Structure 1
Amino acid sequence: MPVTEFTSSALDRRSFLMMAVAAAGAPLLAGCGSGAAGSSGGKKTTFLSYLPLETLSLAPELLAVAGGHFAKHGLDVKLQPVKGSPQAMQTLLAGISPITRVGQIDVMTAVADTGQPLVNIGTLSRGSSLRFVYSKKRHPLAKPQDFVGQTMGVPSEGGTSDKVVSLVLASAGIDPKQTKRQVVGLTPGTFNLVEQGRIVGYVVSVDTANLLTSKNSDVGLFDPGKYVKSDQQVYVTTKDAATKDAQTLTSFMAGIHDAVAAMVADQSLDETVKKLRDEYSFASLNDDKVAKASLTMLRNSWTGGDPSKPLLVTDKAVWTAGYKELTSAGVAKPGGDAPSWFDNGLLPKT
């Protein structure tokens, strides 16, 4: 079976607008390679990824394709990257795809601030899967105060990463405006901007962070999860799609559940890495040490450190506490009914 080496194919604004115009039409999105980025056979559907596909942060979706978990539940899923979580939600709301995965922060701000009809149908991570990378020599980032007067790199303006930076600052009573933001790429090469002093650091996925530290001893990591509790990853649909596409969404979440459960059960991660490499090729996956370290960190976030707890289930108390954190920091408008913004009803009964 040929291995797909991913290249960036995120939608530019023109492509997005063309898709939005065609939203009422028939099949639209082509995945990033019909082989490795999609499962074969079954009902066709599209998953919108705010991340580039070449990251282990997408391990559940990638393994659900490569391991046949989507196919087992009757789906042929295309994984389509878009430019950041704001565009992922815009594309979802346009009706082009029934499902995406974004941060709890993004969902809550969209619903609380502008009344968007979004619904969380499954919580993947019980902690932050982001890391801030910085130069140990140039300007260490050990606490929120170290960000004041600096510029942080983020993948998109107003997205999850941008808001997490704000929440880290707000946790220490610092006005988020005291740290500027600059949109940068998510690649290891962006560290050159840190070394040049153009940015103090930037926000990356866990595997990119591990890849950087394995190659450069000057790379330091800041874990925002020590300060931010609402940075969970959630699967999101619209209220309309939750009814219209209920069967597709139920099958999708079953495939994701099976993929995550397989990785939790695979203690050594040998089988997981093998299956992923049978289909995909990218830097963090191709390095044994980086791949297993990243998957272990991600797996811990999926289980919340307790593998006995049911996967993907949204905990009402944790969800509402996240909303309180956001409103207290001024990131989301208060007064919303947070429990009505999630629904565990499309998850597999276990």
Structure 2
Amino acid sequence: MNRKTRVTGLLLALTLLLVAAGCGGGGGNEPAASSSSPSSEPTASTAEQTLTKIKFSEVIRSIFYAPHYVAMSQGFFRKHGLDVDMTTAQGSDKGAAALIAGTADISLVGPETAIYIHNQSGDKKLKVFYQMTMRDGSFLLSREKRDSFQWSDLAGKKIIGWRPGSSPQMVLNSTLNKEKAQGAEVVTNIASTAMAGAFTSGQGDYIQLFEPVASTLIRQGKAYYVASLGDAFGAYPETSYVATEDYIAKHPDVIKEFTAAVAEATQWLGTASDEEIAKALRPFFDGTPDDILVQSIHRYKDQDTWPLKPELTAESFETLQSVLIENGVLKQEEKLADPSAIADMSFVNALNPAG
């Protein structure tokens, strides 16, 4: 697929999704979750205040986004006067469409969606206001156990990967280019929720998965750990909290409190015991053993997934656009000179050291 065709396809898909979202339509290795996820009961102090309802859309369900689930289960959102009603979009394109259609107030999506929509010159713009992750969150697993791994080992092998234009797909492709790994066949037409099942049924030699699905397959003896894409590629602003410019302008206090709640949850993850972390995440990953939840958290901590200052910097913005251009979803002439075109870091910059 050439660059022009791919970009046109992405924009057409987004347009169709806007129509679907306007009709109430709802993507990840986790099952789709279109209903509200569990949150903690209000404390005595929060029960007395009126909570602001937030319609929130996450891109997929993954421990990659643990700070958000902690903010829900540990009451950080309620502490800040927010009642977060969460749905799972199963794709950044769908999460962005929900924002444009008004079926979501805030979405957790790839920041590239804000660039795509900015370049369409439509009536609505999206703004990143909090950069949650600064690494890719996927892991490469193999069908056969390997005593050592070189990226050149992928020559002639089939990898079950993510849909074209998604962050994990682009990071994998850029990593293969960076490592000069030639001859791998990356399968990108399997639905995200069906990827693990396709692999366990015999398709592919390798698979690219997020946690906790990666560790679950390893525990079951159906896959073996090979590499972290986050470590292999390096710093990359994969997932951000995003809202429309209009929503941010009308509800700056909501964005301020939302930002503070997630920042506090991230700090909590850095000091909590393994037992506390497992208990906090358990409601969102029904049936996943506690030790896998904890192991997944440690994998993400070890690769510095969650930045101490959740900021989309000029450097990370440059990295993002370079990856988009390399992967043919952004033309060189469409590159934005200033991250402020699609990002408002004022809420992050206003955080005090205690969160």
TMscore range, shorter length: 0.7 to 0.9
Gaps of 5+ in 1: 1-13, 24-29
Equivalent of 1:232, from 234, 238, 241? 238
> What amino acid sits opposite 2:336 in the alignment?
G
What is aligned with 2:212? 207
1:221 and 2:219 aligned = no
Return the offset for 1:111: 4.0
Return the offset for 1:141: 7.3
What is aligned with 1:261? 267
Equivalent of 1:136, from 144, 157, 160? 144
Alignment of 1:105-254 (within 5 A): 105-111=112-118, 117-136=125-144, 142-143=150-151, 146=154, 150=158, 152-154=160-162, 156-172=163-179, 179-186=186-193, 190-216=195-221, 218-225=223-230, 226-227=232-233, 229-254=235-260
* Matched-pair contact (CA < 8 Å) for 1:113–1:332: no
Q: Label 1:72 to 1:269 Cα distance change in 2 as closer, same or farther (>3 A).
A: same
Aligned counterparts of 1:106 and 1:141: Cα–Cα separation in 2: 34
Aligned counterparts of 1:186 and 1:228: Cα–Cα separation in 2: 26
Q: Which stretch of structure 1 is more off in the superposition, 140-149 or 126-135?
A: 140-149
Q: Label 1:274 to 1:193 Cα distance change in 2 as closer, same or farther (>3 A).
A: closer
Alignment of 1:331-346 (within 5 A): 331-334=329-332, 335-340=335-340, 341-346=342-347
> What amino acid sits opposite 1:343 in the alignment?
D
Q: Label 1:166 to 1:214 Cα distance change in 2 as closer, same or farther (>3 A).
A: same
Give the TM-score normalised by structure 1: 0.76
Q: Label 1:47 to 1:321 Cα distance change in 2 as closer, same or farther (>3 A).
A: same
* Matched-pair contact (CA < 8 Å) for 1:136–1:218: yes
Give the TM-score normalised by structure 2: 0.75
Q: Label 1:179 to 1:213 Cα distance change in 2 as closer, same or farther (>3 A).
A: closer
Aligned counterparts of 2:65 and 2:224: Cα–Cα separation in 1: 23
> What amino acid sits opposite 1:283 in the alignment?
G
Equivalent of 2:76, from 69, 74, 82? 69
Return the offset for 1:73: 0.6
1:282 and 2:286 aligned = yes
* Matched-pair contact (CA < 8 Å) for 2:114–2:126: yes
> What amino acid sits opposite 2:310 in the alignment?
L
* Matched-pair contact (CA < 8 Å) for 2:39–2:75: no
Equivalent of 1:47, from 37, 44, 56? 56
* Matched-pair contact (CA < 8 Å) for 1:124–1:235: yes
Q: Deviations over 1:101-144 (max 9, x none)?
A: 12244444554577772221111122121113331259x97416
Q: Label 1:175 to 1:246 Cα distance change in 2 as closer, same or farther (>3 A).
A: farther
> What amino acid sits opposite 1:333 in the alignment?
K
Q: Label 1:313 to 1:137 Cα distance change in 2 as closer, same or farther (>3 A).
A: closer
Q: Which stretch of structure 1 is more off in the superposition, 289-298 or 318-327?
A: 318-327
Q: Label 1:100 to 1:44 Cα distance change in 2 as closer, same or farther (>3 A).
A: same
1:90 and 2:117 aligned = no
Q: Label 1:85 to 1:221 Cα distance change in 2 as closer, same or farther (>3 A).
A: farther
Equivalent of 2:312, from 295, 311, 314? 314
Aligned residue pairs: how many?
A: 318
Q: Deviations over 1:150-193 (max 9, x none)?
A: 35242x45332333333233435679996342223447xx5453
| SS in structure 2 of the partner of residue 127 of structure 1 | coil
Percentage identity across paired residues of the two chains:
18
Gaps of 5+ in 2: 1-15, 26-32
Return the offset for 1:236: 1.3
What is aligned with 2:295? 293
| SS in structure 2 of the partner of residue 132 of structure 1 | strand
> What amino acid sits opposite 1:282 in the alignment?
D
| SS in structure 2 of the partner of residue 121 of structure 1 | strand
